Structure 1
Amino acid sequence: MSPRAGNTGPRTLAFVESPVQLLNVLEWAHAHAPGAGLTLVVLSPVDPMTRGQLRRMAELAREEGHEVRWEEARGGTGAPFHTIGGLMGPLRRAERIVMGDPFSRYVQLLLTITRAGELVVVDDGTATMEFVGQLARGERLVRWHRKGSRPGPRDLLFAPVSSVARRRLTPARGRRVAVFSSMPIEEVPDGVTVSANDFSWTRSRFGPPRITRGADMVGTSLVETGVVDGDRYLEAVSGLARAHGATRYFAHRRESADKLHRLAVETGLEVVRPDLPLELIARRGPIGRTVLSFPSTVVHTLPLALAGTDVRVSVCDIDPGWLTRTASPRAQGFLSGVTGSARDVHRLAAVAVV
């Protein structure tokens, strides 16, 4: 019998756009809906590396007994209309919606269609901290690295949809809202239920890993999002690798090929493009005894995924001098908060670059 057979619980529809979101939906299902299959809708991006990781995660989801619906949501001009049209029925029938990115315009548009009585937001990394804070303060939903910048024409055009989505994500009579997160959440909106993601599914499914003597580095997309200067970043990576004897660099799925090529040439690090989220890669092993990272989601998630092992996660602060002139005014404070609120990590001073 499939895990869905005989399920009398709410009909659940989950929307994901990244491998990490899909992983955290599996963690949520393991913690809150064991044995109850759900329908996972992958709103596929165009980036090849992200698509590859999503394919692998979709295989794991099917092995857990969940239905996976792959949507080429960005496959051309007519793709959004085809995707949304095909999801109208399931959206209206769903009693519970699980989503990985409440900032996504795609997800916000879908939220205007559903009348589900329960909405669940699972982790999309550090963005979850910002989402909950904005909801608590009654602010419009804006990604942290764009906050402080003037809204563009597309933002203004989409504002009515975003406003409706924000109301949908606010608890009300007949509508429950929950957040499932491994991130520290200080401001909890009235009526929102928060539960902790401790990566119990990951730990039960993979590992324990073989631990090597050396150090590994974790990449970040702060250059690609326009927050950190590319030259300063490469210099910092080089200095950190030399200081700690790192030999491998696990690339973030959004890092550009040109940047990674230059990094490999200039630092001598072996660049690894993971085929799964880093939490699963680390748990499968082999992994270095020390994992070096800049402020990012993994400084919160890796200690949980690697609980019970001897791996130490060390995080290097971002020097204000590394920020670009166009970086959000909130960037330094937000990144410092990501580091300062992390548990079970070793904090390193910013690497000096010249």
Structure 2
Amino acid sequence: MTTSRSRGALARLAVLHAVGVTLLAAMVAFATPSHADTTWSVVPANADGPDGRSVIDLELAGGQQVVEHVAVINRSTQPVDFAIDANDGYLTSKGYFDMRPSDATPTDGGAWIQVPEKVTIAAGATSVVPVTVSIPQNATPGDHPAGVTASLETISGQVRVQNRVGVRLNIRVTGDYVTKVAVTDVRAEYTGSWNPFAAGSVEVTYTVANVGNVRLVTDNRVLTSTFVGQSSWSDPSAAKARELMPGGSRTFVARVPGAWPLGPIGTTVTAIPSPTGKPLPGVTAERVAIDTTVWAPPWPQLGLLALLVLAFLAIRLITARRRRRIEKLIMLASRGAPQEA
């Protein structure tokens, strides 16, 4: 996959979603140094060149070291000096992979990566850059996301812009893997209809946090129940396939239709986690369910009932008045008195 950006824009890391696994795609950035278009891409590689991977997956024990490679491809018509850097990876609030700025000091997986500071690539040429990953002896088990970028600084007026293009590294340290999530901040709010014959809906806001040490995706489900029945919701969007990094969290909003305002509505939020990346035999991820209750007074139905009661009383009153008038007319007729019109 390729992408391009106009002058002054930051080329960011892109994400592919396939079979529930998030992959960092090969990218092409667009910049404009020296009034000439410069495009380049960065892809995983072996020592001979690009190897067809979209992301670099590593599973190493503490103390191990491995040399990987990325290929930087200069697609422009002039030689270019690219800065190479490695840093920690993270997920944005929408679940997309990104990297910390190049001037930020890495503190996790990015700190374990050594790359050359720069590389000069001739026009139309490809340079294979070695990426040395050294796992500390005391590294904690689990996932430590990182990335490697090739960047180019450009000047636009008084503004200096750094365009970065990179490859994602999924670094997993072997050991005791923990697949666990927590559901917090569950809030439910009922929205009713003034039509007494129409059901309302329950909007549920909740946060799912990855409190384990490996990447997870969660299948989130919401169930509402009253004494007359149940309504359920499951996330139909692609968002449910986006990862949660260890220590990360994401807030979701679900709207469950078909909820009748009949007093208390029980709401259950269930998160069903599953690990992403390489399968983890023998490691199970338990589902987590949290309950809450929202009150839904049946105001439209009570209003309809009040109208029916008033209508019934009005009909009875009118009927009683007519009966009394008829009885009076009959009584007057029996006495031979003139009848009033």
Question: TM-score band, normalised by the shorter chain?
Answer: under 0.3
Bigger Rg, structure 1 or 2: 2
Taking structure 2 as the reference length, the TM-score comes to 0.25
Higher-strand-fraction structure: 2
Higher-helix-fraction structure: 1
Taking structure 1 as the reference length, the TM-score comes to 0.25
